[in-house]
Amino acid sequence: MKSTPTTTKYETAFEEDVAKGLTSFPKYLLSKYIYDEKGDKLFQQIMNMPEYYLTNCELGILQSHTASIADSFNSKKGFDLIELGAGDGKKTKVLLKHLVAKNYDFDYLPVDISQHVLDELEEALKTEIPGVNIKTQQGTYFKTLEKLADYNSRKKVIMVLGSNIGNLLHEKAIDFLKNICEAMSKEDMLFMGFDQKKDPQIILDAYNDPHGITEAFNKNLLVRMNNELEADFNTDDFKHWETYNPETGTAASYLVSKKEQQVKIDKLGLDIHFDAWETIHTEISQKYDDNIVQWLAKEAGLEVIEEFSDSENCYKNYIFRRKDL
Ligand code: AVJ
């Protein structure tokens, strides 16, 4: 029998996910779609705002514990440093500078979906820290991890900074950690940043800044649908709203419709109705404590072997190993 290729109504995952999210109740959109070129720029601006404490907290941890972190990474045959989500490398450069200055034997493998981001990082490192042996890896985390699982001639250190795991609900976070775990060998390490539970007001302020940058970042989802899916969202008709639940540690972002309205998404042939004050859930930014992190690790087959923190325990970077090997 001849097999026919499966056909879907949608050309891209973005189209399919938008259609699914906006025809669900309650409505939602996936935060990963915030990051187009404009979304990347807005996130850079977020990282530079005083209210977004995460970046400076983690930078401070990397600066004050550089030597012990480098020491934990090292092994007899040196190591390969694999960074998932390379970004602009501001925080990573602190580590790389030290590793080069102290003559550690290592390669740096930044992984990113965007070749453009990787090229810029490589260019910057060439002039700023010429001693780094960089091997960029373009692709999704998942594909790259599969590929790098066999990369086993020496110790691998997998690094994920920025509390990026916080965008995932616990169940998904465990899947992500499991994927990483499966790519690890006995002596390999995972070095990962987790934003911590703290005064709820500080968290709300970080995601609800008075400059309107986070609002623009969140609304970039609407702008993208207008640009790419022939939608007619009026961004002024939606309000950026942030909540934080100190019991669960979950910060959540919403876009709230200020009025009853009908929005067309021509490319998807959809006409979406909003009641007045109806919500679109757009992002979660999970906050953690040691118990949650240890539980996530255990569920994924990992264990915490070391942690680094600032004096206020505002943010923590943990080192994990495989538990079963
Ligand atoms: C990049 C996922 C860590 O959730 O703190 C910043 C994204 N959203 N402000 C976060 C974000 C709103 C950020 N992460």
Does residue 162 share a domain with residue 28?
no
Compute, in angstroms, the gap from residue 94 CA to the centroid of ligand 1: 21
Does residue 109 lie within any of the structural domains? yes
Ligand 1 center–CA 269 separation, angstroms: 31
Q: Kindly state whether residues 180 and 241 are assigned to the same domain.
A: no
Question: Are 267 and 230 a contacting pair, CB within 8 Å?
Answer: yes
Do 228 and 109 share a domain, yes or no? Answer: no
For residue 2, being part of any structural domain is answered with: no
Residues 184 and 216 in one domain: no
pLDDT score at 10? 92
Nearest CA to ligand 1 atom 3: 164
Q: With a threshold of 0.85, does the pTM exceed it?
A: yes
Give the structural domain span for 232: 13-50+201-286
In a domain, 148, yes or no: yes
Residue 1 inside a domain? The answer is no
Instruction: Give the rounded percent of residues in the chain with a pLDDT score beyond 90.
Output: 89
Closest residue by Cα to atom 1, ligand 1, is: 164
Shortest-distance Cα residue to atom 2 of ligand 1: 164
Give yes or no for residue 89 having a pLDDT over 90: no
Q: Are residues 222 and 191 part of one domain?
A: no
Span from the CA of 284 to the centroid of ligand 1 (angstroms): 8
Band (116; pLDDT cuts 50, 70, 90) = confident
CATH of the domain at 124: 3.40.50.150
Report which ligand 1 atom has the smallest distance to the Cα of 284: 4
Residue 280 lies in a domain: yes
Asked whether the predicted pLDDT for residue 114 surpasses 90, the reply is: no
Whether residue 41 lies inside any domain: the answer is: yes
Q: Is residue 77 part of a domain?
A: yes
Neighbours of 25 (CB within 10 A): 6
CB 131 within 8 A of CB 140: no
pLDDT-derived band at 9, boundaries 50, 70, 90: confident
Over residues 311-320, mean pLDDT: 97
**Start-to-end Cα distance in the chain:** 46
Number of domains within the chain: 2
**Residue 87 in contact with ligand 1 by CB distance below 6 A:** no
pLDDT tens by residue, 257-307? 999 999 999 999 999 999 999 999 999 999 999 999 999 999 999 999 999
- Tell me: do 244 and 300 sit in the same domain: no
Which residue has a Cα nearest atom 4 of ligand 1? 285
Alpha carbon of 163 to ligand 1 centroid (Å): 8
Question: How many A from CA of 95 to the centre of ligand 1?
Answer: 22
Regarding whether 175 and 127 lie in a shared domain, the answer is yes
Q: 248 in ligand 1 pocket by Cβ < 6 Å?
A: no
Whether residue 309 is found in the same domain as residue 214: no
- 1: pLDDT strictly greater than 60: no
Residue 3 is predicted with a pLDDT of: 53
**Mean pLDDT across the stretch 82-107?**
93
Q: Does 167 contact ligand 1 (Cβ within 6 A)?
A: yes
Strands laid side by side in the 279-286 sheet: 27-28, 279-286, 250-257, 238-245
Task: Mark whether 62 and 193 lie in a shared domain.
Answer: yes
189 and 103, same domain (yes or no): yes
pLDDT, tens only, 201-258: 999 999 999 999 999 999 999 999 999 999 999 999 999 999 999 999 999 999 999 9
**Average pLDDT across the chain, whole number:** 95
Claim to verify: residue 100 and residue 181 sit in the same structural domain = yes
Tokens of 187: 């002596």
What are φ and ψ of residue 10, in 5° steps? -110, 145
Ligand 1 centroid–CA 128 distance in Å is 27
Q: Determine which of 18-32, 86-100, 169-183, 283-297 has the lowest per-residue pLDDT on average.
A: 86-100
**Does residue 4 form part of some domain?**
no
Mean pLDDT within 55-76: 97
Domain co-membership, 193 together with 304: yes
